[in-house]
A and B are shown apart, each in its own frame.
Chain A
Amino acid sequence: MTAQVELPPQPTLSRVGTLLRARELGIGIVIVVVFVTATLKNHAFANSHSFQQLLTGAALIALLGVGETLVIVTRNVDLSVGSVVGLSAYVVGDTFKHHPHTPILLGFVLGIAIGAAIGAINGLITTVARVPSLVVTLAALYIIRGVDGVIVNGKTIDPGSIPKVFQEVGYRTLFGLPWLAIIVAVVVAVVGYAMRSFRAGRDLYAIGSNPDAAALAGVPTGRRVFTAFLVSGSLAGLAGALFLALHAQVDVTGGNGYELTVIAAVVVGGVAIFGGSGTVLGAALGAVLLNTINQALVASKVSAFWNDAIAGALLLAAIAFDRWLSLRIARNLRSAEGAHRSV
């Protein structure tokens, strides 16, 4: 079976590209607006440190957002990412604690392997048993948290048992850019390129837009969805290792509640929750925006009690704005098309 997904004619494709870029540009503008507003309220906010902090603080959520985007684009969802972060971080930390001479690269490999295994299970159950992924990964969230709790059993990994070099990944900078941000940027670039240029990447959008049509067109939907979960799990495992590097400590609470933050970041980043559209760059920018808002609130000396309310309101505003923007662009495109035809 080598049937091609029927691609829309070329001009429309480039317009879709414009629309996607406009979405990302919109998020970029909002980030700048938030940053400038906070700086106006508190001039100290704009310095090289806070710039690094914005990137460092957003890095893990952005990384998880990349995997989540792959899954959501196929009209699925992965709620297990937060618990994978917790489990991976603890197991990697525990390995360092008992085998202090473990090469740090092995630490990352271990984290990714744990995540990949869980992602594979999620993907298998979702595709083979044809069970809704929301339920599968909600169950996985509970089960992994439980397993994590049994393993952790009230212990905590102290900074003393984590190799210094490993910790350095969490705070070192290169040309003023935090290592964490560079790693995430590389992942965003690689996955983003694959999503745009590779057949398998395009298939994900086809599946999300119309699963039945994609299957009829010969897209191996099961294999593609499985791959999306595998990547999401692996990146969550990597995020767990990076969590350990960044915080240099982990107990059972590691990664708690990340799942909803990640979905929030992805949605703010313009990824349609019903699949078929959105980019990993958008998701990463969404994560940066959410973190910028959080830090701007503290920097603007807003009472800490207001944080959640403002974050929630801004999230709603971001979704609504994004909706308004895409409707407007769609309308403009339509009228432009009309004008073109009438000529």
Chain B
Amino acid sequence: MSDTATRPPTTTSYPGAGSNRRPSWHALLRWESALVLVLIAVLIFGSSKSSTFLNSTTFFFTGLNMGEVAIMALPLLLIVMIGEIDLSVASMLGLSGAVMGHLFQSGWSIWAAMGVALLVGALGGALNGVLVAKAGLPSIAVTIGTLTLFRGVAEIILPTPTTRLIPASLTKVGVVPIQGTQLAYSAAIFFVMAVIFAVILHATPLGRSLVAIGLQPESAQFSGIRVNRIRFGLYVASGVICAFAGILFTLKNSSASYGAGSGLELTVVAIVLFGGVSIFGGRGTVLGVVLAVVIVGCLQQALTQMHVQPEVQNIVTGALLLISVIVPNSGEALRRIRERVRRG
């Protein structure tokens, strides 16, 4: 199948999308600075409302709660950068945990079980990759399908949660911070990975290829970038990294359950978008995603400590998301409205 020929033109233009989508570092830096301001506002707000907000325990808990979500956001960032999406991330987290839990429950060593879980992640990612890159199917439809499929396979493998005790030396990742710091293990892993992803995206030819694909897949293809190989590779990477997040999630909870992380896919997508990544591809930074993770995590801690209804937290998340796309476009929108008013 000739996939580039039959693929719909994904990025030429979308109605309702801002016409100004040139990658401009100035605009990017503006968005990230706005996020820094939001973060400062959240920290001030939280500490003024709760006396226990600005302490190291909050910092540890935030890292603990956000770690896996944050880790899954990194490969998704790259996938959104090339104009695709992966909605199966949270189901892969659950599937990896179920595989690992089942094998461990039936007597395997924990390390071997983890290895197989990562392998399953690679296979699941490859399935997404084949369907999107080779068969040319729309990624949103494919990954809605694998979202259901992965969760379903997890349910078959592990209908009831595991009971065999995972060695305490491993499950401590969910209980204590790294010695001498207040940093949760999963958060530390996220920060290290974020640096690696930042280097890949912003400082390597591969990163530039991703941006090029996101802006114009056809032109990228003609300029010699192996578009489909990169698409495939990103989905495999996403599968492996989400499987890894599943392992961390399992260790953190010291048990596995097929439902682990259900519904998190939309949170991960929301974080990536809130981080300033364009849903149409070609625009986004790792820093934006890191800031979005920290803001969402701190906000959740602040609101929970203040006994704010969790429903209100949903409203706040939605509002942040909305602001994050409206504000960058507001100048142009106002200009258009003014023009229209003038015309009568």
Instruction: Please give the residue numbers on chain A whose beta carbons come within 8 Å of chain B beta carbons, in ascending order.
Output: 74-77, 125-136, 138-143, 145-150, 207, 210-212, 214-215, 221-222, 225, 260, 263-264, 267, 272-276, 305-313, 315-316, 319-320, 323, 327
Min distance, Cβ B341 to any Cβ of chain A, angstroms: 12
> Which residue of B19, B142, B314 is within 8 Å of A145 (Cβ)?
B314
A128 to B333, Cβ gap below 8 A? Answer: yes
Residues of chain B within 8 A (CB-CB) of A141 are 266, 318
Q: List 7 A-B contacts (CB under 8 A).
A: A131-B18, A131-B326, A139-B322, A147-B311, A214-B15, A308-B148, A323-B137
Q: A135-B279, A150-B312, A273-B141 are in contact. Are A305 and B155 (CB under 8 A)?
A: yes
Q: Given the complex of chains A and B, what is the CA–CA distance between A37 and B136 in angstroms?
A: 30
Residues of chain A within 8 A (CB-CB) of B332 are 130
> Which residue of A138, A273, A315 is within 8 Å of B321 (Cβ)?
A138
B325 to A135, Cβ gap below 8 A? Answer: yes
How many residue pairs at the A-B interface have CB separations less than 8 Å? 188
A140 to B152, Cβ gap below 8 A? Answer: no
Q: Given the complex of chains A and B, what is the CA–CA distance between A275 and B270 in angstroms?
A: 23
Binary CB contact string for chain B from 291 to 317 against chain A (1 if under 8 A, 0 otherwise): 000000000000000000111111111
B6 within 8 A of A: yes
A319 to B155, Cβ gap below 8 A? Answer: no
Residues of chain A within 8 A (CB-CB) of B14 are 75-76, 132, 211
Binary CB contact string for chain B from 145 to 157 against chain A (1 if under 8 A, 0 otherwise): 1111111110110
Which secondary structure characterizes the binding site on chain A?
helix
A146 to B145, Cβ gap below 8 A? Answer: no
> Which residue of B140, B153, B278, B329 is within 8 Å of A129 (Cβ)?
B329
Residues of chain B within 8 A (CB-CB) of A76 are 14-16
Q: Which of B135, B273, B311 has most A Cβ within 10 Å?
A: B311
Q: A150-B311, A306-B152, A319-B142 are in contact. Are A139 and B16 (CB under 8 A)?
A: no
Q: Given the complex of chains A and B, what is the CA–CA distance between A227 and B220 in angstroms?
A: 35
Residues of chain A within 8 A (CB-CB) of B278 are 132
B58 within 8 A of A: no
Residues of chain B within 8 A (CB-CB) of A128 are 333, 336-337
Q: A130-B17, A138-B269, A315-B145 are in contact. Are A273 and B140 (CB under 8 A)?
A: yes
Q: A75-B14, A76-B16, A141-B318 are in contact. Are A146 and B312 (CB under 8 A)?
A: yes
Which secondary structure characterizes the binding site on chain B?
helix
Considering only CB atoms and an 8 Å cut-off, how many residues of chain B contact the other chain?
Answer: 64
Q: Which residue of chain B has its CB nearest to the CB of A326?
A: B6
A312 to B145, Cβ gap below 8 A? Answer: yes
B153 to A131, Cβ gap below 8 A? Answer: no
Q: Closest 7 interchain pairs by CB?
A: A312-B149, A308-B152, A309-B152, A149-B311, A142-B318, A312-B148, A146-B315
Q: Given the complex of chains A and B, what is the CA–CA distance between A260 and B156 in angstroms?
A: 22
Residues of chain B within 8 A (CB-CB) of A142 are 270, 314-315, 317-318, 321
> Which residue of B153, B159, B329 is within 8 Å of A130 (Cβ)?
B329
> Which residue of B15, B138, B309, B326 is within 8 Å of A149 (Cβ)?
B309
Q: Which of B145, B273, B315, B333 has most A Cβ within 10 Å?
A: B145
B155 to A263, Cβ gap below 8 A? Answer: no
A131 to B325, Cβ gap below 8 A? Answer: yes
B329 to A320, Cβ gap below 8 A? Answer: no
Q: Given the complex of chains A and B, what is the CA–CA distance between A74 and B16 in angstroms?
A: 10
Q: Given the complex of chains A and B, what is the CA–CA distance between A316 and B128 in angstroms?
A: 10
Q: Which residue of chain A has its CB nearest to the CB of B263?
A: A257
Contacts A130-B16, A147-B315, A267-B144 known; list 12 others, CB within 8 Å.
Answer: A132-B16, A138-B270, A139-B322, A141-B318, A212-B13, A264-B145, A273-B138, A274-B10, A309-B152, A312-B145, A315-B149, A323-B135
B1-30 residues at the A interface, CB under 8 angstroms: 1, 6, 8-10, 12-19
> Which residue of A267, A307, A310 is within 8 Å of B141 (Cβ)?
A267
B230 within 8 A of A: no
A146 to B313, Cβ gap below 8 A? Answer: yes
